[in-house]
Amino acid sequence: MTTSPREKNAPRDVNEAAIIAAKSDIASGKNSKKVFIKTYGCQMNVYDSERMADVLSPIGYAPTDAPDHADLVILNTCHIREKAAEKVYSELGRIRKYKETNKPDMKVAVAGCVAQAEGAEIMSRAPVVDMVLGPQTYHKLPEMIAKVHRGTGQLLETEFDTLEKFDELPELRQPKGFSSFLTIQEGCDKFCTFCVVPYTRGAEVSRSVAHVVAEARQLAAHGVREITLIGQNVNAYNGLGEDGKEWTLGQLIRHVALIGGIDRIRFTTSHPRDMDDDLIETLGNEPKLMPYLHLPIQAGSNKVLHAMNRGHTYAEYKELIAKIRAARPDIALSGDFIVGFPGETETDFQQTMKCVEEIGYGSSFSFKYSVRPGTPGAGLPRQVPEDEKQDRLVRLQALLYQQQQDFNKSLIGQTLSVLVEGVGRKDDQLFGRSPYLQGTHFDGPKDLVGQIVNVKITDAGRNSLVGELA
């Protein structure tokens, strides 16, 4: 069954009754319900899962790592990768068995982008699912849970209203560590021809500066030292500023940098078209901004970039990188690459290899193109055979991985600031993140956890660094 479109004007008593009942359970020590949330995909989903846990806490749910005995299981899905929906269905098969064997009253929800794209189909193919909710509706979880418990049947909520979601989320956040994501923008208007995001997350919407600052202050008050401002197109940020005007991402970063306790700021994911001069200047001048930029190009051939609807050429990207490096010479770049987009020839692929050689990346994400139903790329002629895509990916990754290894090795002998996130596997070993995001291991006392310390790098692999306290 589907809920009526937008229940904005519906009485709120269901939600409030559920919260009041749960609060009284908590007060009487009955706060024993468990929620298992499985997160697929990007950092936007990681953030959303944390916020779902925040929404559920006041109604008595505590997170658990054990799905088999959970009262509520939520799959927070991602539609970016191939066969995303099939993976969700096989996970749902496992959950159905847990439910039948251990926990007949278990409730099951599918959230995220697969839910948005295939909500009705999920409900008809997987009767075990009680609730399907899109990325803009998870603030309605308590209300939906109350309805499911009242036997209303399967519920589908896939409306787009990003700002309503942010307005209705609980203010109190429960960050897990010393580094936290903070969503400042959602959705995308770019319509790259390979990507489902504009269809699953909707148009670009930015949160107001006041909301972002309030959440950042909350995080700082809970001990968070590093904030990563996230959005599908984070540098398209244009939220309402404190002066009543639209602020850019550069303005927002400089403002967030004033918050006491926040010592490191990052932002991701950026689009080359939205990399304005103000942001580049901020990269150069704001010491709290880490020298690491994820700026995907996807392909080096102008023909392929055009077919992907990226809206820029390779020469424009290269010029942009030169500007960024002039402003922040120590910056490390990260990129996304897709090989085998429809129509990509070996000559086009060689342009991607040339791009990687010329630009140089400290880290990267690379994939074979795969069809996303409903995107323009799916209908394009001249799909590249699978074995050619595989061959290109192997060659590209050999180059990218070598660059990553070389970059990490170039840091040996340098002293880097490391945010200590926890203890390592060995006695007295600590683990943290460098300014360039590599995991860094070194020996030190446990009371350094949560501190930012200087570490002299003594060894480096492709994915991590080793050092000693400086």
User: Considering beta carbons, is residue 317 or 407 the nearer one to ligand SF4?
Assistant: 317
What is the phi-psi region of residue 126: left when phi exceeds 0, alpha when psi lies from -120 to 50, beta otherwise?
Answer: beta
Q: Is 421 helix (H, G, I), strand (E, B) or coil?
A: strand
200 binds ligand SF4 per the rule CB under 6 A: no
CB of 199 vs ligand SF4, minimal distance in Å: 9
By beta-carbon proximity to ligand SF4, the closer residue of 190 and 254 is: 190
Using the rule CB under 6 A, which residue among 21, 24, 191, 261 binds ligand SF4? Answer: 191
Cβ proximity to ligand SF4: between 269 and 440 the closer is 269
* Pair of tokens at residue 440: 């860094």
Q: Provide, rounded to whole angstroms, the least separation between the CB of residue 173 and ligand SF4.
A: 25
Question: Please, what is the angle between helix 346-359 and helix 314-327, to 10°?
Answer: 10
Helices (H), 296-385: 302-307, 314-327, 346-359
CB of 367 to ligand SF4, least distance (A): 12
User: Given candidates 14, 192, 219, 396, which one binds ligand SF4 under the rule CB under 6 A?
Assistant: 192
Instruction: Name which of 127 and 373 has its Cβ closer to ligand SF4.
Output: 373
CA–CA dist 30, 345 (Å, integer) = 63
Q: What is the DSSP string of 111-172?
A: EHHHHHHHHHHHHHH-TT--EEE-TT-GGGHHHHHHHHHTT---EEE----HHHHHHHS-S-
From the list 87, 94, 46, the residue with the least C-alpha distance to 70 is: 94
What is the distance, to the nearest Å, from the Cα of residue 100 to the centroid of all Cα atoms in its chain?
A: 33
- C-alpha span between 239 and 207 (Å, rounded): 5
CB of 202 to ligand SF4, least distance (A): 11
Instruction: Evaluate whether 183 touches 297 at the Cβ level (below 8 Å).
Output: no
State the minimum distance, in angstroms, from the CB of residue 311 to ligand SF4.
9
- C-beta of 186 vs 263, nearer to ligand SF4: 186
Minimum distance between the CB of residue 12 and ligand SF4, rounded to whole angstroms?
A: 33
Which residues, in sequence order, are CB contacts of 39 under 8 Å at separation 6+?
45, 46, 48, 49, 76
Smallest gap from residue 289 Cβ to ligand SF4 (A): 22
Which residue number, 132 or 188, has a Cβ lying nearer to ligand SF4? 188
198 binds ligand SF4 (CB under 6 A): yes
- Pick from 75, 78, 195, 227 the residue near ligand SF4 by CB under 6 A: 195
Compare residues 193 and 408 and give the one whose CB is closer to ligand SF4: 193
| Nearer to ligand SF4 (CB atom), residue 42 or residue 212 | 42
With binding defined as CB under 6 A, does residue 78 bind ligand SF4? no
* Separation of alpha carbons 442 and 340, rounded Å: 41
Q: Is the CB of 106 or the CB of 396 nearer to ligand SF4? A: 396
CB 309 to ligand SF4: min, Å: 8
Q: x/- site string to ligand SF4, residues 262 to 301, per CB under 6 A?
A: ---------x------------------------------
What is the total count of residues that contact ligand SF4 (CB under 6 A)? 10
Among 59, 78, 115, 197, binds ligand SF4 (CB under 6 A): 197
Site string for ligand SF4, 213-242 (x = CB under 6 A): -------------------xx---------
What's the half-sphere exposure (Cβ side, CA atoms, 13 Å) at 115?
Answer: 29
Looking at 398-446, which runs of residues are DSSP E strands? 415-423, 429-433, 439-443
Q: How far is the CB of 298 from ligand SF4 (least distance, A)?
A: 8
Please report, as residue ranges, which positions from 171 to 190 form the binding site for ligand SF4 (by CB under 6 A). Answer: 188, 190
Cβ closer to ligand SF4: 191 or 365?
191
Cβ–Cβ under 8 Å, residues 266 and 229: yes
Shortest separation between residue 244's beta carbon and ligand SF4, angstroms:
28
Question: Measured between alpha carbons, how far is 52 from 138 in angstroms, rounded to an integer?
Answer: 6
- Run of H or E residues at 197: helix 197-200
Query: Which DSSP state fits 465?
Result: E
138 contact partners, CB below 8 Å, separation of at least 6:
48, 51, 52, 55, 111, 165
What does the DSSP 8-state code read for residue 289? Answer: B
> How far apart are CB 288 and ligand SF4 at their closest, in Å?
26
Interface residue list for ligand SF4 (CB under 6 A): 188, 190-192, 195, 197-198, 232-233, 271
